[in-house]
Amino acid sequence: MDINYIFVWFVSLSCLMCLPYAVRSNNKGWICVSLSILVITLGLAYFIPRVAGWMGGSLWVIFFFLPLLGFAKMNKLVYQQRYTQARQLASWLYWLHPADGWLEQPQLLLALELGQRGEIGEASKIIERFPAASTTIARHAQILLYSMRADWKKCLLWMRENLPKNVLFNNNFLFTYYIRALGETGDLNGLLAEVDRAEKLWDGVVVNLYFIRMFAFAFCGQIEQVRQLFYGPLALYPETTRRFWLATAQMAAGNEQLARIQMLNLRMADDLILSNAIDWRLCYPLIQPEKVLTNYSQEILERLKVEFNLEVNYQKLLKKKPTYFTYGLIGLNLLFFAVEMVKGGSENLDTLYLLGGLVPSEVFSGQWWRLLSANFLHFGWVHLLTNMTGLYFLGRYVELNLGYWRYLFVYLVSGMGAMFTFSLLALHLGDTELILVGASAGIMGLVGVITFIFLRIWQLEKSRIAAKRFQFLVLILAVQFAFDIISPNVSFLSHLFGMILGFFISFMIM
């Protein structure tokens, strides 16, 4: 399998995975970019396969990866309220992606920059150039104008009168401000209902999802959850933003006097947008949630807390507990690969045979050690790189959940068991002279373990996070098996056997 072939697959899958999000959000630019790159790549794969991956990969880097990378950097600058740098970056980005309102984006960022400096009048003049509610960028501009002035009642009224439901719920920016407007105007039941909806809609929009969770926790007085968010997933936000929302949570929790002192101290910051938000908060104190929340809303809030705590606990575990065995297994694979290169090359079948590649006829003649050694050999650097990437991400998760020795047991038994089952089948079919190598069977055993873990968490706690992760895992498996079936020199059966063994072994030991 050469790198050109992998590029064709990677580019095609990237574009296919982007399309549903682009269609749902009505991002016509990304729809056009994804479809164009996909059609060109697949067309070249049919007519000129030798260059399809390289050409498709080049287009993907220029018109897909670089804009996404740039937009991510620009959004980070906006979150940090560094509007000048964000505007300068946006003025370059729209050359690579002139659709979806990016031609006008520098003007909006200039308005934010002026508003932050206290020049609300000049910022308003820029925003008012956009025709009201006629385009996505115009809607964003109108919302920004209301938010800079902290006029949340008019903001909520305008959104309800001018934004159709499908537009509001399929646009991350508008939906985030809608959630905040509900909290700012005291509609906590409506806020929690919409946050619950967002949990179902926004699987991939991590920062936005964490931020609307923060709104739910802050307006419902959950101080500790707000603190954990701002010192975890939302750590990129500036200190003034953290302090403002922690004070908001204090006020909602009933500590109004302390919250007012914190707000007044914060108001001295040189930021008119923040000062307007503080003035609104002090003029319209928050309602304590226990006085207004329905039973259904309380259930939503508790579920949000449980699922967030699950994520926080896993992140703490990942930071505190090193995964030595995963790193050791990766090191062994790299060591074996180095020996392959010294002995004649990783794509030399004689070398792979000499070092212990799986040959079914040799296994049943008494060379049982090949069931183990074949798991540490790889055919080419692409094979090694893909497997070690999978081992790094999957292995650490399984090691943290099972512990060192059970993890090693599952990995080795899955790999060796899959090799043995494959050898039996090869013997039955009379194809006993082929050579099979790679850590894929053991890694697919880890996939089986993770599948069992997600199912178990969902059954015990009905966690929506586990259900979403399980659905994503099923999608990854479907893509993997489709790739196996149509790819030469890749053993679909050994992967399948490894995954099944991993699932049932985890069932027995857990």
User: Which of 97-101, 297-301, 316-320 has maximum average pLDDT?
Assistant: 297-301
200 and 307 in contact (C-beta within 8 Å)? no
- 206: in domain: yes
108 located within any domain: no
In whole angstroms, give the CA distance from residue 374 to residue 359: 9
Q: Are residues 501 and 475 in the same domain?
A: yes
Whether residue 94 is predicted with pLDDT greater than 50 in this model: the reply is yes
What residues contact 112, with CB distance under 8 A and at least 6 apart? Answer: 78, 83, 123, 144, 148, 273
The average confidence (pLDDT) of the chain is: 84
Same-domain pairing of 220 and 276: yes
Residues 261 and 382 in one domain: no
Q: Label residue 298 by pLDDT band (50, 70, 90).
A: very high
Q: Which domain holds residue 211?
A: 150-317
User: What is the pLDDT confidence band of residue 214, given thresholds at 50, 70 and 90?
Assistant: very high
44-53, 257-266, 455-464, 486-495: segment of lowest average pLDDT: 486-495
Give domain status of residue 124, yes or no. no
pLDDT at 200 over 70: no
Per-residue confidence (pLDDT) for residue 111, from 0 to 100: 86
User: Does 224 score more than 80 pLDDT?
Assistant: yes
Which of these three, 299, 317, 335, is where a domain ends? 317
Q: Which range among 65-74, 197-206, 416-425 shows the weakest confidence by mean pLDDT? A: 197-206
- Model-level pTM? 0.69
Residue 85 inside a domain? The answer is: yes
Q: Are residues 357 and 216 in the same domain?
A: no
- Please tell me the total count of domains within the chain: 3
| 310 assigned to some structural domain | yes
User: Domain check: are 255 and 239 in the same one?
Assistant: yes
Q: What is the pLDDT of residue 489?
A: 47
Higher pLDDT, residue 193 or 5: 193
Query: Are residues 304 and 342 part of one domain?
Result: no
Q: Model confidence over 120-174: pLDDT tens digits?
A: 788 888 877 776 556 677 788 888 888 888 999 999 999 998 888 877 877 788 8
Residue 62 domain-assigned (yes or no) = yes
3-state SS, 98-117, equals: CCCCCCCHHHHHHHHHHHHC
Give φ, ψ of 267 to 5 degrees: -65, -20
| Same domain (yes/no): 268, 344 | no
What pLDDT shows up at residue 488? 45
Percent of the chain with pLDDT over 70: 88
pLDDT score for 333: 94
Consecutive H or E run containing 297: helix 295-320
Domain shared by 263 and 176, yes or no = yes
Q: pLDDT at position 487, please?
A: 47
Secondary structure of 171-227 as H, E, C letters: CHHHHHHHHHHHHHCCCHHHHHHHHHHHHHHCCCCHHHHHHHHHHHHHHCCCHHHHH
Q: Is residue 128 part of a domain?
A: no
Taking residues 6-33, report their average pLDDT: 83
Q: State which of 98, 114, 139 marks the end of a domain.
A: 98
pLDDT of 26 higher than 80: no
pLDDT band at 23 (very low <50, low <70, confident <90, very high): confident
What confidence tens digit (pLDDT) does each residue in 385-397 have? 878 888 888 888 8
pLDDT number for residue 269: 61
Higher per-residue confidence, 209 vs 279: 279
Q: What is the mean pLDDT of residues 462-472?
A: 61
Judgement on whether residues 297 and 190 belong to the same structural domain of the protein: yes
Asked if residue 141 belongs to a domain, the reply is: no
Q: Tell me, what CATH number does 431's domain have? A: 1.20.1540.10
Last residue of a domain, one of 266, 298, 317: 317
pLDDT at 7: 85
The pLDDT value recorded for residue 408 is 92
Taking 60 as the threshold, does the pLDDT of residue 205 lie above it? no
Whether residue 242 is found in the same domain as residue 376 = no
281 in the same domain as 330: no
For 96-134, how does the pLDDT look when each residue is reduced to its tens digit (9 = 90+)?
Answer: 888 877 788 888 888 888 887 878 788 888 877 776 556
Same-domain status, 209 and 290: yes
